[in-house]
């Protein structure tokens, strides 16, 4: 069973490895770890962490991005569990034998989230402390919309 610090380190390792595969590099903003208690075994939890791609990625480049990420995950021993091939909102989900999982999801309007999940972690209340204020849009929604232009990814 991992400690919260071990879980955070593992999540960062998984996400760093994913982002290292993306060339040219994209800009991202990191979320805050989320803890979800498991029913079985009691007293354990999953920890998830998401990174929001702030680089604008054109619809025409979604396939290239997903291909880079999927190849990296497979090279690390992850099994691709499902793929949503929707050309506007594609997604890919992968899992390793140790129970960790990775995902890439494209939402509307072009916001891209790459996430990781690890387990088991001892279930505790707020093991990472209080969530710091996150950037928001003028309407109060979280600022996860891509705003950085890139000569390769954005065109």
CATH assignment at residue 57: 3.30.2030.30
- List, for residues 77-87, the tens digit of each pLDDT value: 999 999 999 99
Residue 46 confidence (pLDDT) above 80: yes
> pLDDT averaged over the chain?
93
* Number of domains present in the structure of the chain: 1
Whether 148 maps to a domain, the answer reads no
Whether 65 maps to a domain, the answer reads yes
Whether 151 maps to a domain, the answer reads no
Q: Report the pLDDT value the prediction gives residue 20, as an integer from 0 to 100.
A: 97
Residue 129 — pLDDT band, cuts 50, 70, 90?
Answer: confident
Whether 8 maps to a domain, the answer reads yes
- List, for residues 109-124, the tens digit of each pLDDT value: 899 999 999 988 888 7
- Assign 24 to helix, strand or coil: coil
Whether 133 maps to a domain, the answer reads no
Whether 41 maps to a domain, the answer reads yes
- List, for residues 71-109, the tens digit of each pLDDT value: 999 999 999 999 999 999 999 999 999 989 999 999 988
Mean pLDDT computed over 50-71: 97
Angle at 90 between CA 138 and CA 51, to 5 degrees: 50
Domain that holds residue 25: 4-122
Contact of 37 with 45, CB cutoff 8 Å: yes
Copy the structure tokens of residue 64. 């290239």
Whether 17 maps to a domain, the answer reads yes
Longest Cα–Cα distance of the chain, Å, equals 49
Whether 155 maps to a domain, the answer reads no
Residue 36 confidence (pLDDT) above 80: yes
Q: Report the pLDDT value the prediction gives residue 16, as an integer from 0 to 100.
A: 98
pTM of the model: 0.93
């Amino acid at each position: 069973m991992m400690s919260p610090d071990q879980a955070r380190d593992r999540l960062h390792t998984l996400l760093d490895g994913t982002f290292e595969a993306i060339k040219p590099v994209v800009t991202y903003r990191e979320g805050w770890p989320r803890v979800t208690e498991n029913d079985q075994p009691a007293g354990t939890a999953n920890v998830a962490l998401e990174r929001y791609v702030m680089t604008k990625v054109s619809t025409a480049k979604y396939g290239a991005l997903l291909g880079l990420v999927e190849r990296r995950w497979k090279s690390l021993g992850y099994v691709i569990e499902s793929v949503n091939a929707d050309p506007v909102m594609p997604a890919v989900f992968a899992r390793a034998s140790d129970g960790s999982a990775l995902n890439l999801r494209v939402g509307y309007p072009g916001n891209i989230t790459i996430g990781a999940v690890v387990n088991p972690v001892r279930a505790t209340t707020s093991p990472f402390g209080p969530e710091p204020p996150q950037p928001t849009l003028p309407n109060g929604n979280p600022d996860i919309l891509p705003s950085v232009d890139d000569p390769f990814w954005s065109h």
